[in-house]
């Protein structure tokens, strides 16, 4: 059963068509990777899926906002607050009561491995720790759909590995995940199915094995004629 169904999604800014008739679905317990180079339209598509941007055309069928976890590309937490203060604030914005917010904050801190640094200002965290906190905020509301927009951008390999580990743990619990990245190795490690996107259009879709080629990088090169990290 599809947790997320996107059909004919379109968004343009004056003459630039950022997303052009995009359509795909993510099933329960599935991790779906949206792959594309910078400027392919991934983040614009994500913004429409989570309701930040209004599409020009098309439709998005997703769980109610209270059941969607969104992890934006930028570290969207307050750097001057501690991790715990941030999580308590976002819990409140999800409508949780004090006791529930407190226990859920403790849970997600443990899940992303930040329990021992929870009361430090986020500004003092490494890039990888900030990214993990960014994910923790997206998990607060026990989502049925988790949308991760390039969650490992700009982090060191060790932190990236820790982030991928925690995403893999979560998908084992029946969570549907939409994951955008331009790192092929991440998509191959995490995703059950992959959609390759360029110029706002879905070029191909399938399991990494279905897409043929020795690996996804080669598939992408064949489909778009350019390197993924262009």
Positions 120 through 159 that interact with another protein (CB under 8 A) = 121, 137, 141
Give per-residue burial for 26-50: e unless 16+ CB within 10 Å, then b.
beeebbbbbbbbeebbbbbbbbbbb
**Pick from 64, 172, 214, 225: which binds another protein (CB under 8 A)?**
64
Q: Which stretch binds another protein (CB under 8 A): 19-27, 59-67, 157-165, 216-224?
A: 59-67
DSSP SS3 for 38: coil
**Tokens linked to 73:** 């590309």
**Tokens linked to 28:** 């329960």
Rounded Cα distance, 209 and 156, in Å: 28
Q: Which stretch binds another protein (CB under 8 A): 20-28, 75-83, 177-185, 208-216?
A: 75-83
Q: Which stretch binds another protein (CB under 8 A): 31-39, 50-58, 211-219, 221-229?
A: 50-58
Rounded Cα distance, 181 and 37, in Å: 8
Nearer to another protein by Cβ, of 13 and 214: the residue is 13
Nearer to another protein by Cβ, of 6 and 219: the residue is 6
Q: What are phi and psi of 193, to 5 degrees?
A: -135, 155
Site residues, another protein (CB under 8 A): 47, 50-54, 64-66, 68, 70, 72-81, 85, 89-90, 92-95, 121, 137, 141
């Amino acid at each position: 059963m599809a947790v997320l169904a996107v059909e004919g999604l379109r968004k343009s800014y004056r003459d630039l068509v950022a997303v052009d008739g995009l359509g795909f679905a993510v099933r329960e317990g599935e991790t779906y990777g949206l792959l594309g180079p910078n400027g392919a339209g991934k983040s614009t598509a994500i913004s429409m899926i989570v309701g930040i941007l209004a599409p020009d055309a098309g439709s998005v069928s997703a769980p109610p906002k209270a059941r969607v976890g969104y992890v934006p590309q930028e570290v969207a937490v307050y750097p001057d607050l501690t991790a715990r203060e941030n999580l308590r604030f976002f819990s409140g914005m999800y409508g949780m009561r004090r006791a529930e917010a407190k226990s859920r904050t403790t849970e997600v801190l443990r899940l992303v491995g930040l329990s021992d640094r929870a009361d430090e200002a986020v500004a003092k965290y490494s890039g990888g720790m900030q990214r993990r906190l960014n994910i923790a905020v997206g998990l607060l509301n026990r989502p049925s759909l988790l949308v991760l927009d390039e969650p490992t951008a700009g982090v060191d390999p060790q932190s990236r590995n820790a982030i991928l580990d925690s995403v893999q743990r979560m998908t084992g619990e029946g969570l549907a995940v939409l994951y955008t990245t331009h790192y092929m190795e991440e998509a191959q490690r995490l995703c059950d199915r992959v959609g390759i996107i360029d110029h706002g259009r879905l070029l191909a879709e399938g399991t990494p094995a279905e897409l043929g080629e020795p690996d996804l990088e080669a598939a992408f090169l064949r489909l778009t004629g350019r390197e993924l990290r262009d």
